[in-house]
């Protein structure tokens, strides 16, 4: 096999000793890190750093601002899992004909979309968009209202009821 052509932009060194000192430390650090890792880590949702770790944000009290964790597409949270179980029971009872999790993404405006939590077909063949929330943020409520005005589906906001079960709010 003929040798690879090198351009003036490629960096090639015969040994790590030929590398500049900073690059050599970097390569050796990566090699030791790779050797120390026993198993590849599974991708996880974003978690803010704990308060015990200094964040370097300049906060004198050492506290870290907590936001809500980022949603990982295709993965259900606990409320959505419980509602999926509820829909599975309704499917078995014949109250609904079909449902899917995050199968429909609606465009509301440029760079603004709404991914429906559960798209449901009732036993009568009507399509419904069920948006499951533990707590309603105002921006999410506005998105559902805009989608209900734009699309010909019935939009339902679903939350856990205090005494068990589910409470719904119809937007269309």
Tokens of 48: 């803010």
At 157 the three-state DSSP class reads: strand
pTM for the model: 0.61
Q: Average the pLDDT over each of 32-36, 106-110, 159-163 and give the range with the smallest value.
A: 32-36
Residue with the larger pLDDT of the pair 5 and 149: 149
- All domains in the chain, ordered by first residue: 78-170 (3.40.1350.10)
- DSSP-derived pairing of the beta strands 154-160 and 112-115: unpaired
- Residues 6+ positions from 71 with CB-CB distance below 8 Å: 45, 77
């Amino acid at each position: 096999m003929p040798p690879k052509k090198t351009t003036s932009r490629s960096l090639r060194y015969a040994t790590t000793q030929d590398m500049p000192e900073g690059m050599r430390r970097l390569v050796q650090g990566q090699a030791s890190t790779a050797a120390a890792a026993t198993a590849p880590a599974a991708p996880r949702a974003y978690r803010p750093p704990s308060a015990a770790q200094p964040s370097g944000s300049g906060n004198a009290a050492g506290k870290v601002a907590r936001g809500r964790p980022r949603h990982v597409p295709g993965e259900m949270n606990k409320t959505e899992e419980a509602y999926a179980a509820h829909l599975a029971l309704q499917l078995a009872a014949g109250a609904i004909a079909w449902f899917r999790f995050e199968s429909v993404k609606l465009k509301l405006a440029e760079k603004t979309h709404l991914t429906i939590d559960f798209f449901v077909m009732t036993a009568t063949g009507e399509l419904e968009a069920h948006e499951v929330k533990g707590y309603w943020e105002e921006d999410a409520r506005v998105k559902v209202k805009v989608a209900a005005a734009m699309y010909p589906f019935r939009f339902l906001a679903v939350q856990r009821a205090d005494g068990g079960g589910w409470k719904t709010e119809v937007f269309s």
